[in-house]
Amino acid sequence: MFGVGAVSKTFMTFGAYTGVHNMNPFLKILYDPHRTRPILTVTNHTSTADDPLLWGALPWKCYLQPTKTIRYALGAQELCYPNKPVGAFFRCGQIVPVIRGNGIYQPAIDKSVDLLKSGRWVHIFPEGKINQTDHLIRLKWGVGRVLTEYGGPPIAEGGKPMHELEMPIVIPIYHLGMEDILRLFPDNSSPLFPKLGMPLTIVFGEPIDFGTLMQEYKEGKIQEVEARIKMTERIYEAMDELKQVALRLQKEQADRAEMDRIQKGRWWWIQPAGWGWWRSPDIELYPKHRDTSVKIEEL
C-alpha cells in the first residue's frame, strides 16, 4: 500500500501539473480522532488509473496510518482479479471485486455496507465504468443501495430511528485531466504509460446531506426503491454541481500553467518545492451566481 502511494505521489509531483482544491475540510474529517461516522467518497471515473493516482494528493501520513485513513474501493473483478498473483496485489490495495452487469444485489455491495458499519472509508465510482466524455452519465443505483442498507429497515420493520443512526459522511470529488493522461484507444484499451505534463484538477466537495431523505425512508413515507433512486439522484446533482466548479478552476489553472510554461520552458510542470501541485483550500466553491440549471430530468 505504501509503495503504491509513493508512486502516486511521485507522479503527482513530477508527472503532472496538478491543482488540488478544498482538500483541507476532507482531511479534517478523515483525521478527526473523535469521528464515529464512516466516510463514503464518490467521484467521476475517467481512466484506468483514477485510483490510485488521485490519492497521491493525500499527505504521507495517510499511508503511514492506514487503519482508517486508507480507502476501500470497488474495482472490476475481470480487471483486478484475473488470476491469483494480480488478485493478491489488488487485495493488498483494499480493492473489493465487483462483477459489472450483475446488478446492485451482489457481494461487493454487501461488503461495502459492512465496511461502512465498521467505520471504514469506502470509495465508489458511481458511473460504473470509465467515461471520457464531457458529461456525467447516469449513476448506478448501487451507491443508493449502500446508503439505504446502511440505514437499515424502516422503524415500522424494527429499524433504528434517525436520532440513533449515524449516516456515513458522503463526500463528492470531481477531477478533470486524467482522461488526457491516459486517453483510451478506440478499442477501449488503455495505454501502458501515462502522458506527462498534463494539467490535472481535483476538487473536493462538501458533505452531502441525506438526513431528510433517510428520515422519510425510516418513517415509511417512501419505499426503499424510491429512497435508493432519490439518494443516487442527489449524488448526481452534487457531482454535476462540483463539475461546474472544477471547470472554472481548470480555466484558472490553465492560465497559471501557461505562465509557467513561458517562464520555465522544458519540464515546466515540475514543481518539487511545492510537491508538484498548488492548493487553494479556502476557495469559495459555490459563488452566488452559480449555474444549477442542469437537472436529472433533463438528461
Percent of the chain past pLDDT 90, that is, above it, reads 55
Higher pLDDT, 259 or 231: 231
Planar angle of CA 141, 44, 284, nearest 5 degrees = 115
Q: What is the number of other CB atoms lying within 10 angstroms of the CB of residue 165?
A: 15
Contact yes or no for 158/16 (Cβ under 8 A): no
Contact yes or no for 138/168 (Cβ under 8 A): no
- Report the topology of domain 2-180+193-298: Glycerol-3-phosphate (1)-acyltransferase (3.40.1130)
Candidate from 100-114, 130-144, 227-241, 269-283 with smallest mean pLDDT = 269-283
What is the pTM (predicted TM-score) of this model? 0.85
Residue 9 has pLDDT above 60, yes or no: yes
Q: What is the spatial distance between Cα 42 and Cα 73, in angstroms, rounded to a whole number?
A: 10
Q: What is the spatial distance between Cα 259 and Cα 104, in angstroms, rounded to a whole number?
A: 47
The residue among 164, 149, 286, 174 whose CA lies nearest residue 231 is 149
pLDDT for the residue numbered 156: 87
Q: What is the spatial distance between Cα 154 and Cα 148, in angstroms, rounded to a whole number?
A: 10
Beta strands in the chain (DSSP E): 16-21, 39-43, 72-76, 95-98, 121-124, 169-176, 198-204, 277-280
- Domains of the chain, by residue range, sit at 2-180+193-298
Average the pLDDT over 229-235 and give the result.
97
pLDDT for the residue numbered 260: 67
Mean of per-residue pLDDT scores for the chain: 84
Question: What are the backbone angles phi and psi of residue 68, rounded to the nearest 5°?
Answer: -120, 0
pLDDT band at 161 (very low <50, low <70, confident <90, very high): confident
Cα dihedral 235→236→237→243 (10° resolution): 110
pLDDT for the residue numbered 88: 93
pLDDT digits (tens, 9 = 90+) for 30-89: 999 899 999 999 999 999 889 999 998 888 877 776 667 789 999 999 989 999 999 999
The residue among 107, 109, 106 whose CA lies nearest residue 126 is 109
Higher pLDDT, 225 or 9: 225
The residue among 128, 114, 122, 218 whose CA lies nearest residue 165 is 218
Q: What is the spatial distance between Cα 169 and Cα 172, in angstroms, rounded to a whole number?
A: 10
Q: Quote the cell numbers at residue 74.
A: 470497488
pLDDT digits (tens, 9 = 90+) for 118-141: 999 999 999 999 999 989 999 999
pLDDT for the residue numbered 266: 55
pLDDT for the residue numbered 251: 86
Residue 296 has pLDDT above 60, yes or no: no
β-pair partners for 200: 18
Query: Whose grid coordinates read 488540488?
Result: 20
pLDDT digits (tens, 9 = 90+) for 253-270: 777 777 766 666 655 555
Cα torsion angle, 156, 157, 158, 161, sign: negative
The residue among 184, 185, 181 whose CA lies nearest residue 202 is 181
* Exposed / middle / buried, residue 263 (Cβ in 10 Å: 0-12, 13-18, 19+): exposed
Highest-scoring range by mean pLDDT, 180-184, 189-193, 218-222: 218-222
Q: Quote the cell numbers at residue 47.
A: 481512466
Residue 272 has pLDDT above 70, yes or no: no
Residue 200 has pLDDT above 80, yes or no: yes
* Helix or strand run (H / E) with residue 106: none
